[in-house]
Amino acid sequence: MINDLVKELENEVGKCISCGFCESVCPTLPAAGYNLWKGARGRVILGKELLSTIKDKETINVSDSFYSCLDCQACLYVCPAGVNAGKVSHISKSIIASDTITGNQNPLAKMMARVTMRYMNPLGVREKCADWFKGMKADPDSNDLLYTGNMYQLMAYNKGMDSMRERMGKNLSEKMSSLVSTIPGLMKLTPVKRDEIIGQKMDKTLSNIALLLRKAGISFNYLGEAEPYPGTFIYDLGYLDLFEKYAKKIAKILKDSGAKRIITVDPHTYDLLKNVYPKYVDDFDLDIVHYLDLIDKSSFIGGSDSITYHEPCHFSLRDDAYNRPLETLKTVANVSLPARSGRRTKCCGGPDELIFPELTRKISEDRYRELQETKAEKIVTACPICFSNLNKGPEVIEIGDYLLSKLKN
Amino acid sequence: MDHIRELSRILGSNLITEREQKIPYMTDASYYEGDLPMAVAIPDTVDQVSAVMKYCQGNSVPVVARGGGTALTGSSIPMEDMLVISLAKFDRILEVHPEDRYAIVEPGVKLDNLNQHLQKYGFFYPPDPASSIAATVGGSISTNAGGLRASMYGTTKNWVLGLELVLPDGNKINTGGKVLKRTAGYDLTSLLVGAEGTLGIITKAIVKIWPLVESKGRILAYYDSIEKVGSAISDLKGKGITPLIAEFLDRITMHSLSQTRGLEFPETASHMLIIDIASTRESIGRELKDAEEILKKFNPISTEITTDKEEMDRIYEARKGAYSSLLSERSTMSERVVIGDIVVPASELPQALKESEEKVQKYNLTVALFGHISDGNIHANIYADIADQDHMKRVESFQHDFAMIAIMHGGSVSAEHGIGLEKKELLKMEMDETNNAYVMEIMKSIRKIFDPNGIMNRGKMFDQ
């Protein structure tokens, strides 16, 4: 695998002419005080350096450059040479994760991957992730499986993770992470605190999504406490060998449920299952949809609400841009988009939350300000990570919650 | 003296010293790779810039200022253990005064961001190099950048009213001011435009702004010879029409745009003209027709007029991205596109282009020729395999002959990209060939007055 990764990295960085256009849209560069190594062009340049290091069997300390990449891929759409710095970072993380060069593994990343492998959930809280469904009934005979991927539910643990890290300090937290990587069972002994307010909010959003589907006449199955996390972290953090094993396991669980169609509720799971799983799981033939695909746009009452919409990167900055949320919102409200939208949308900073929370804070504050500049009354998000990071005022609302309020009786 | 320790005292966490973090500063948009800098300073106040410069002057630490890192001649790369001073944190638009036609901006503001902001006032800042998405106000002032709109508005030098500059000794000076007219002694502002960071560090700029054009339209005209293109544009200008933009593209460029942007061109066209006319809503139709009639006198293969905004944006972006499109046609990873950037009087252009094409044949190179025809500015985009020494020698010889064409026709070796490392020899050649060797001596003397210890962007533009 390492040879393939090296080849792939050579191809990607080889196209770069270092024009710097990517730096103008990279959200991490200004958040990192304009230190180029945490910007798109810097990552491509360091990708070249990484290749030389491997060739010369030397050492280099480049982990933070690549792990701070949000993989939003905004860089790709302004690059005249078609270089994807997100891809460069992902390949480089994969090389690092494979231990091809020493001293670059990120302990937190490794811990997340190992715990997920063990518990099918990055924090070992899979059972808790089914709480939102209490009182509702699944339809085990349905061909449709509602698959939350635990994503909304995990947002309730962000603050807990942050405060745990702050309490421990960098060194201790890294030592602890290394220990948990070796013995993943330790995660259960040091549980991360759940933020009940966020938890209830996210649970409510999931209930509203389920209600929207039901009102649209969709009867669906749900795996409850057995529902696994899709493995987004394992893939994003570059643990490709582990991811392949994991994805096969999850694909089997999904198939064994009897589902023919998987209804996803967030952009990360949607993108992973639709675009990444088929590359790692043979004959992955499940139909992957987003819940808004199944809800007729005419089900909603049109109105004159003034809203703005923050487009998630995994919907707008992928090859097959998914615009159904925006199209639906346009039928119910006056939508004014922020200056950076569509193929130039700007990430909320969420993917850096785990390892670089300070970058996330700065990026999300900047994006929130841009959304506010539209003067819209509401800011609508369509992703639990985006919501979690941009939830800085009462005007921020998740699309499922907003649309439910606009449903015709 | 431990420079790092002393600079850390001034800059704190705004100083980068780790090797891996310094590596990205070794390159800009040129094909040159610099040396690993001694350190990188990213100051966030003018006081920090002053303190850093005072220290560097006092301790002979060479420095290079960096804006957006989009220079095409190597002017912003570090050499010889230099300290890189990045102005990235100076990224605020401080004041906009439409009524007085000026804005005050910090040097790290990107040109597109400035124009996006000015649009709210119905104004704009005309210099528009193809890299405007990433190029900064400070960097473009330092290279006197041009762009497509130079046809009507001139280059950056026409749009800078005043500058705040930190001198190599750390003192801060202000040149020019907020007024559109000024004859108060020597025009030091003009001297600093295009100085490529050899005289000081720009920390603030007062730039002239202008109202957005009310209405514009575009004429596309295709010809089967460059002579016809040159004659057509000469006649157009001779009749008193000043296009907003006037661009020409050769066949290779058209081909790459059709491959990368899906644009379609007549098969028999060897050259294409893009002419934009700006006018009032009431007059734009008539003025476009008048201009088209002139272009038609020179037997074009076809002409067409559009005022459709989407279509105009598509063509404008394609032309602005022509360099990029050529890049995507590279045959090997080690191939780069080296850009020649000469200028001749516009009336000399057809002959200069003909001679340039002969040189392309002589050196057996693949070269796409396009440029700003109204200004007589030709960009020779040379496919250059930097891993092939013989190939690079031929590229160098072509660049020499190409520059000589400019000189022989009364032009210059650099129109809008600056000198940097790439055109140092060509600048000397221009001065020698035009019997202006003494001008070079004056330049050296000026540089020495500003920078007696020779610490500012050492090795660039010309050797002391």
Pairing of strands A144-147, B335-343: unpaired
Where is average pLDDT lowest: A14-28, A153-167, B148-162, B182-196?
Answer: A153-167
pLDDT at B23: 97
Do residue B248 and residue B264 come from a single domain? yes
Supply the CATH number for residue B16's domain: 3.30.43.10
Q: Which residue has the tokens 């330049």?
A: B443
Do residue B99 and residue B50 come from a single domain? no
Conformational region of residue B380, where left means phi above 0, alpha means psi within -120 to 50, and beta covers everything else: beta
Distance CA A248, CA A262 (A): 16
Distance CA B275, CA B241 (A): 11
Q: Which two tokens stand for residue B447?
A: 């540089």
Where is average pLDDT lowest: A320-324, B87-91, B208-212, B319-323?
Answer: B319-323
pLDDT at A220: 97
- Provide the 10 A C-beta neighbour count for residue B33: 13
Distance CA A26, CA A23 (A): 5
Task: Give the amino acid at B196.
Answer: E
Higher pLDDT, B319 or B217: B217
Distance CA A344, CA A74 (A): 6
Where is average pLDDT lowest: A55-69, A148-162, B44-58, B327-341?
Answer: B327-341
Q: Which of B11, B15, B21, B259 to mutate to test the interface with A (most CBs of A within 10 A)?
A: B21
Which H or E element spans position B348? Answer: none
Digit-coded pLDDT (tens) for B251-305: 999 998 888 888 889 999 999 999 999 999 999 999 999 999 999 999 999 999 9
Residue A290: strand, helix, or coil: strand
pLDDT at A75: 95
The values of phi and psi at residue A290, to 5°, are: -105, 150
Higher pLDDT, A190 or B424: B424
Rg (CA), chain B: 22
Q: Which two tokens stand for residue B340?
A: 């020649």
Q: Which residues contact B407 (CB under 8 A, 6 or more apart)?
A: B413, B429, B430, B433, B434
pLDDT at A211: 95
Distance CA A380, CA A402 (A): 8
The domain spans of chain A are: 2-97, 120-157+193-285, 297-404
Q: Which residues contact A198 (CB under 8 A, 6 or more apart)?
A: A155, A156, A158, A159, A388
Distance CA A188, CA A206 (A): 25
Q: Which residues contact A31 (CB under 8 A, 6 or more apart)?
A: A38, A349, A359, A362, A363, A366
Do residue B190 and residue B227 come from a single domain? no
Q: How far is CA A34 from the centre of its chain?
A: 24
Which of A21, A37, A45 is facing B27, going by the closest CB pair? A45
Does residue B443 fall inside a structural domain? Answer: no
Which H or E element spans position A28? Answer: helix A28-31
* Domain containing residue B157: 93-211
Cα within 13 Å of Cα(B71), Cβ side: 35
Bridge-partner residues for A1, per DSSP?
none
Q: Which two tokens stand for residue A366?
A: 């900047």
Supply the pTM of this predicted model: 0.94
Q: Which of residues 23-62 of A touch B (CB under 8 A)?
A: 23-24, 30, 33-37, 39, 41-42, 45-46, 49, 60-62
Supply the CATH number for residue B380's domain: 3.30.70.2740
Do residue B143 and residue B75 come from a single domain? no
Q: Which two tokens stand for residue B334?
A: 């080690």
Does residue B231 fall inside a structural domain? Answer: yes
Q: Which of A36, A68, A92, A366 to mutate to test the interface with B (most CBs of B within 10 A)?
A: A36
B24, closest residue in chain A (CA to CA): A42
The structural domain count of chain B equals: 4
pLDDT interval class at B441 (50, 70, 90):
very high
Distance CA B72, CA B85 (A): 19
pLDDT at A203: 97
Q: Which of B211, B235, B257 is the endpoint of a domain? A: B211
Residues of A with Cβ-Cβ distance to B323 under 8 angstroms: 80
pLDDT at A214: 95
B322, closest residue in chain A (CA to CA): A80
Do residue B8 and residue B112 come from a single domain? no
Q: Which of A24, A25, A62 to mutate to test the interface with B (most CBs of B within 10 A)?
A: A24
pLDDT at B317: 83
Bridge-partner residues for B124, per DSSP?
B210
CB B59 within 8 A of CB B3: yes
Task: Give the amino acid at B206.
Answer: I
Do residue B100 and residue B205 come from a single domain? yes
Q: Which of residues 10-39 of B touch A (CB under 8 A)?
A: 13-14, 16, 18, 20-21, 23-29
Does residue B434 fall inside a structural domain? Answer: no
Supply the CATH number for residue B295's domain: 3.30.70.2190
pLDDT at A164: 83
pLDDT at A319: 81
Digit-coded pLDDT (tens) for A194-237: 999 999 999 999 999 999 999 999 999 999 999 999 999 999 99
Q: Which residues contact B248 (CB under 8 A, 6 or more apart)?
A: B226, B229, B233, B271, B272, B273, B274, B370, B371, B373
Ordered strands of the B377-385 beta sheet: B302-306, B215-223, B271-279, B245-250, B367-372, B377-385, B335-343
Task: Give the amino acid at A55.
Answer: K
- Minimal C-alpha gap between A2 and chain B (Å): 21
Mean pLDDT confidence for B397-423: 96
Bridge-partner residues for B223, per DSSP?
B271
CA distances from B42 to A68, A338, B66, B85, B373 (A): 20, 29, 10, 6, 39
Distance CA A29, CA A36 (A): 7
Q: Which residue has the tokens 């003025």?
A: B287
The CATH number of the structural domain formed by A297-404 is 3.40.50
Does residue B103 fall inside a structural domain? Answer: yes
Do residue B97 and residue B207 come from a single domain? yes
Do residue B142 and residue B174 come from a single domain? yes
The two domains A2-97 and A297-404 share their CATH topology (first three levels equal): no
What distance separates the 2 farthest-apart alpha carbons in chain B? 71
Q: Is B74 on the interface with A (CB under 8 A)?
A: no
Digit-coded pLDDT (tens) for B293-316: 999 999 999 999 999 988 898 888
Distance CA A391, CA B350 (A): 61
Q: Which of residues 55-94 of A touch B (CB under 8 A)?
A: 60-62, 65, 78, 80-82
Distance CA B4, CA B15 (A): 8
Report which of A123, A61, A68, A116 is spatially closest to residue A90, judged by C-alpha positions.
Answer: A68
Q: Which two tokens stand for residue A244?
A: 């392949």
Identify the CATH assignment for A2-97 out of 3.40.50.460, 1.10.1060.10, 3.40.50.720, 1.10.10.10: 1.10.1060.10
Query: What is the value of ipTM here, to two decimals?
Result: 0.93
Do residue B80 and residue B103 come from a single domain? no
Q: Which residue has the tokens 């990430």?
A: A347
Does residue B460 fall inside a structural domain? Answer: no
Distance CA B429, CA B329 (A): 32
Do residue B206 and residue B219 come from a single domain? no
Residues of B with Cβ-Cβ distance to A41 under 8 angstroms: 24, 69
Q: Which of B49, B65, B88 is the endpoint of a domain? A: B88
Q: Which of B177, B211, B245 is the endpoint of a domain? A: B211
pLDDT at B133: 95
CA distances from A109 to A174, A235, B340, B350 (A): 10, 11, 47, 61
Please give chain A's pLDDT, 409 residues, in tens.
Answer: 789 999 999 999 988 889 999 999 999 999 999 999 999 999 999 999 999 999 888 888 999 999 999 999 999 999 988 899 999 999 999 999 988 888 788 999 999 999 999 999 999 999 899 999 999 999 999 999 999 999 999 999 988 888 888 888 888 888 888 888 888 888 887 778 899 999 999 999 999 999 999 999 999 999 999 999 999 999 999 999 999 999 999 999 999 999 999 999 999 999 999 999 999 999 999 999 999 999 998 889 988 899 999 999 999 998 889 999 999 999 999 999 999 999 999 999 999 988 999 999 999 999 999 999 999 999 999 999 999 999 999 999 999 999 999 998 7
Does residue B428 fall inside a structural domain? Answer: no
